[in-house]
Amino acid sequence: MKSTVPVVAGIDIGATNTVMGLVDRHGQCYHRDTIRTGNYETATHFLDAMARMVLFAMESAGQGFQLEGVGIGAPNGNYYLGTIEAAANLQWKEVIPVTETMAHYFDVPVRLTNDANAAAMGEMLFGAAQGMKDFIMITLGTGLGSGIVCNGKLVYGHDGFAGELGHVIVEANGRQCGCGRRGCLETYASASGISRTMQELLTTSQENSLLRNQSKGSPDAKHIYDAACAGDKLALRAFDLTSRYLGTALANAVAFSSPQAIILFGGLAQAGEFILEPVKRYMEDTMLHIYKNKVSILPSMLPESDAAILGAAALIWEEKHIPEQHP
């Protein structure tokens, strides 16, 4: 008689694609599948397709697998309510009752949270934060997301919306942010932030740059990285400015929760030496003395292709396998 493998369906709802995989307790991912988020006119149709994707994967997997739960990461996902509310990049603007709807399809626990919180859980169970009880996850994409773990638990706040470090104001009357305010961290420290910085440098400086003769529009993070690798001074300066904003903001975040590590995830975080080292340096320079030389800046240890799925699945695995810990 073969023993069954307990798995959790990890689902990441993105603006373009919604991806799914069955994840075992060691972070091994099986039977990945994808649906196109944009193809569904109503949220109800979309959720039905999402549920069927899981059911189909379990059927394909056969009797060797047993479903233990469904974990979902989504933009503006609210852990307490199990809803997605007013997500800027999704086409459905109403409050979407995700976990309630999923409960019609599955008799196992269903949990939802935002993508950065899911990423934090993924790192804690399967990545760079294994064994840590206090750390901060920073996801550097188009914007800046964050997931904060204190005492081994995600910080959700009283309403489920804690952990929006991308919207800490770092520059009074600074850059216009999509949230309607000015000077938010994510307008400087993100893929779009470094692109704006580069564009400003190209406009205000006379210095030669590989990025001057690009086609129209601001140079994107990838091009800035390539230019920095080639020694382009303005591109290097763009990374330095980005790192300064992020490093000094993180010094303030440390005064809040005194984490063991801050983990950087996403395209920009892969710019390695151009970001990890200077962020650490600016953070150390700015930080209160009692925290100095205690906080690591680490790159994510999750494979980028599966990171979102692993994070979503970790929401369930964390409940099942991390016993309550008292310091």
Options 159, 207, 273, 304; binder of its own copies; rule CB under 8 A:
159
Q: Is the dihedral of CA 265, 31, 74, 90 positive or negative?
A: positive
Quote the CA–CA distance of 39 and 41 in Å, as a whole number. 7
Q: Should residue 165 be labelled a site residue for its own copies when binding is judged by CB under 8 A?
A: yes
Which range in 10-18, 49-57, 108-116, 252-260 contacts its own copies by CB under 8 A?
252-260
Which range in 92-100, 121-129, 173-181, 192-200 contacts its own copies by CB under 8 A?
173-181
Options 89, 91, 288, 321; binder of its own copies; rule CB under 8 A:
288
Q: Should residue 229 be labelled a site residue for its own copies when binding is judged by CB under 8 A?
A: no
Which range in 36-44, 94-102, 160-168, 220-228 contacts its own copies by CB under 8 A?
160-168
Residue 182: left if φ>0, alpha if ψ -120 to 50, beta else—which one?
A: beta
Shorter beta-carbon distance to its own copies: residue 226 or 319: 319
CB of 15 to its own copies, least distance (A): 19
Residue 55: left if φ>0, alpha if ψ -120 to 50, beta else—which one?
A: alpha
Which phi and psi angles does 28 have, rounded to 5°? -75, 135
Q: Should residue 95 be labelled a site residue for its own copies when binding is judged by CB under 8 A?
A: no
Shorter beta-carbon distance to its own copies: residue 133 or 233: 133
Q: Should residue 174 be labelled a site residue for its own copies when binding is judged by CB under 8 A?
A: no
Q: Are 154 and 148 in contact (CB under 8 A)?
A: yes
By CB under 8 A, how many residues form the interface with its own copies? 44
Q: Are 196 and 187 in contact (CB under 8 A)?
A: yes
Q: Should residue 158 be labelled a site residue for its own copies when binding is judged by CB under 8 A?
A: yes
Q: What angle do CA 158, 164, 167 make, to 5 degrees?
A: 130
- Edge-to-edge strand list for the sheet holding 83-84: 77-78, 83-84, 96-97
Which phi and psi angles does 230 have, rounded to 5°? -85, 5
> x-or-dash pattern for its own copies, window 115-134, by CB under 8 A?
-----------------xxx
Q: Which helix (H) or strand (E) holds 145?
A: strand 144-150
CB of 251 to its own copies, least distance (A): 7
Q: Should residue 161 be labelled a site residue for its own copies when binding is judged by CB under 8 A?
A: yes
Burial label for 136, CB within 10 Å (0-12, 13-18, 19+), is buried
CB of 162 to its own copies, least distance (A): 4
Q: Under the rule (CB under 8 A), what is the footprint of its own copies?
A: 79-80, 132-134, 148, 150-151, 153, 155-165, 167-169, 179-181, 248, 251-253, 255-260, 286, 288-291, 294, 324, 327
